Structure 1
Amino acid sequence: MKIKTNKTALIPKLRFPEFKNSGEWVVKRIGDILEYERPDKYIVTSENYVSEGIPVLTANKSFILGYTNEIDNIYANVPVILFDDFTTDMKYVNFPFKVKSSAIKILRAKNYHNLKFILNYCHKIKFDAKEHKRYYISVFQNLTIPLPTLPEQQKIADSLSNLDEWLAAEEEKNSPCWRAYKKACCKTFPAEGKSRA
């Protein structure tokens, strides 16, 4: 079976058996499935970090910059995605935090979409942030992704989370096969106009 494509829907070739006849994935604009919040009131007032306390986060590779003992304006309405407005890096956060900079957007799922599914799909988007500008409002929220039903989103997100945990353990053991498994897992998502083997 080839992927059926049009401007509004996709059907992936590979699918969990219980969703084989669940129909098309509907294409939606990211800004219609995620709402954003500016981080201004959650910015840490001092960068003199301590060894424990509330994590101070960034969306780039560093992720946890340190910890603060500040008790005011801690972001606790989790889970969320932290989006770096300049690099488009994204991180899933499920614990209370503060941030270092206003160059972050805090993203929450609208209408009961699965945040981990959305994050995994957004990581597939090839986006080159060449200019030093804020990308979420100007570009990223206008991109589209295909979405299955909520139960299928949940199944895929849970499977990818389990795989990530297993791969992290394999990576710690320096297993030579962990990268191949991660790459193969990306075939779970349909790509418009392409067939998945």
Structure 2
Amino acid sequence: MKSEEKCLLGPRLRFPEFQDAGKWAINEFSKYIVLYRGSSPRPIQNYFSSDSNGVNWIKIGDTKFAKNFVISKVEEKITPEGAKKSRKVNTGELILANSMSYGKTYQVAIDGCIYDGWFVLRDYEKYFDKQFLLQLLNSDYMQSQYEKFSAGGIVQNISSEIVYKTLLPHTSQIEQQKIADCLSSLDTLISAQTQKIDTLKTHKKGLMQQIFPSEGETIPRLRFPVFRDGGDWRTQRIEELAKRGSGHTPDKKKASYYSGGIKWVSLADSNMLDNGYLYSTKIEISTEGLKNSSAVLHPVGTVILSRDAGVGKSAILNSDMAVSQHFMAWVCDKSKLSNWFLYYVLQILKPTFESIAVGSTIKTIGLPYFKALCISVPSIEEQQKIADCLSSLDILISAQTQKLDALKIHKKGLMQLLFPALEADA
């Protein structure tokens, strides 16, 4: 152990063969690892390449292709001349993001070049097992340090100085490998579960394209046997099938208008939409706020749609709720239109809503559009059959998503046990 290294308490959970292995050591990042920043040839547009001899150009955006923090695919390549003005990385190396998803670390499974949004990590092999280091650098423990050294501000990027100040715990490489193997096995389960969910979502998307008529057609390609002689679907305005409503925002300066127990859907709830039922809201209003505004209480089963930020997102109210003026609301005539059928129609139309929304800052769709909006509908019985089919898939997707969330929570908790806590004044 280096003389300047501090000691750590042992982790709360340790493999039996390491129970008597003693404390872990800790030191600044700079004592263990050297960072090399990526670089971009300028102007970059002059160096893009579509040739077979192009060099992989690894950007932060390519992390969307990553699995288990391994990047094996890129969207763009640069010319060999551009590569000479950039930073080359080799298969197997670790790169750390210094912007956007700052601090996240990935292993590259391809040779290529990195731009200045990345650091490549080198000269750590004496102290760290690569897979252990990858797990450690992506832990909450590291993220909290980046936030701490950034003085509590909103961090958009991190400098090498900030990274170098962070503290890294380490133990013997044999124990590191054991920990890495354990966490990697969980990553494999998480990856398999994610793939299962993606497959279900792909199946649902393909099914929806078949059980609803294509644009310009009146009969779907796939129909339940009992409805194959049901004739053409009819095109009608939603206005003819459901009662349209909207909402309002009570005066925010009046505290008595809020926190009164009435659920109120606002743009703050955007991330909870597109999941079928909406069960709760982040903001509640009072009876007084409801009475002194144009907001109304919509009944359970109402279908809502965001027409502003997060445009096109929809949901079904699981209880009586009010909504802000940023939402459309429809109470379906049960003899003409199934609310779940309407929800799935709106889901299909989401790309259309996103494409027609206008506005420089916040995209929005005006009320006249929704007044004239037409949809294709079959009989109420066929609507319900379609809705039941799709909702059964959603239930399955939700159950698998809960399993995925449980695996992630388990891994997070396990990491907190497998990594030690810093011993004060050690």
Is residue 27 of structure 1 aligned with residue 250 of structure 2?
Answer: no
Deviation at residue 152 of structure 1 after TM alignment: 0.4
The equivalences for 1:57-96 within 5 A come to 57-58=265-266, 60-62=270-272, 64-66=280-282, 68=284, 70-71=286-287, 73=290, 75-86=297-308, 87-96=311-320
Residue of structure 1 aligned with 2:398, choices 168, 180, 188: 168
Equivalent position of 2:372 in the other structure: 142
Pairwise CA RMSD of aligned residues?
A: 3.4
Q: Which has the larger radius of gyration?
A: 2
Q: Give the Cα separation in 2 of the matches to 1:19 and 1:75.
A: 37
The equivalences for 1:37-186 within 5 A come to 37-40=245-248, 46=255, 49=259, 53-58=261-266, 60-62=270-272, 64-66=280-282, 68=284, 70-71=286-287, 73=290, 75-86=297-308, 87-99=311-323, 101-110=324-333, 112-125=336-349, 126-127=351-352, 128=355, 129-131=357-359, 132=362, 134-174=364-404
Measured against aligned partners, the alpha-carbon deviations of 1:126-154 in whole angstroms (never above 9, x if no partner) come to: 22224246525222342322111000001
* Contact 1:82 1:91 (8 Å CA) reproduced: yes
* Contact 1:82 1:105 (8 Å CA) reproduced: yes
Q: Give the Cα separation in 2 of the matches to 1:162 and 1:6.
A: 25
Unpaired runs of 5+ in structure 1? 176-197
**Greater CA drift, 53-62 or 157-166:** 53-62
Deviation at residue 75 of structure 1 after TM alignment: 1.7
Measured against aligned partners, the alpha-carbon deviations of 1:25-82 in whole angstroms (never above 9, x if no partner) come to: 11222333232123238888648658xx443323622454425373454725231112
Distance 1:133 1:5, change over 3 A: closer
Q: Letter of the aligned partner of 1:94 in structure 2?
A: N
Measured against aligned partners, the alpha-carbon deviations of 1:161-183 in whole angstroms (never above 9, x if no partner) come to: 121111100122239xxxxxxxx
Higher helix share: 2
* Contact 1:38 1:105 (8 Å CA) reproduced: yes
Q: TM-score, normalised by structure 2?
A: 0.34
Distance 1:168 1:103, change over 3 A: same
Equivalent position of 2:7 in the other structure: none
Distance 1:140 1:88, change over 3 A: farther
Unpaired runs of 5+ in structure 2? 1-211, 274-279, 291-295, 406-426
Q: Give the Cα separation in 2 of the matches to 1:92 and 1:79.
A: 6
Equivalent position of 1:186 in the other structure: none
Q: Give the Cα separation in 2 of the matches to 1:106 and 1:89.
A: 12
Distance 1:30 1:119, change over 3 A: same
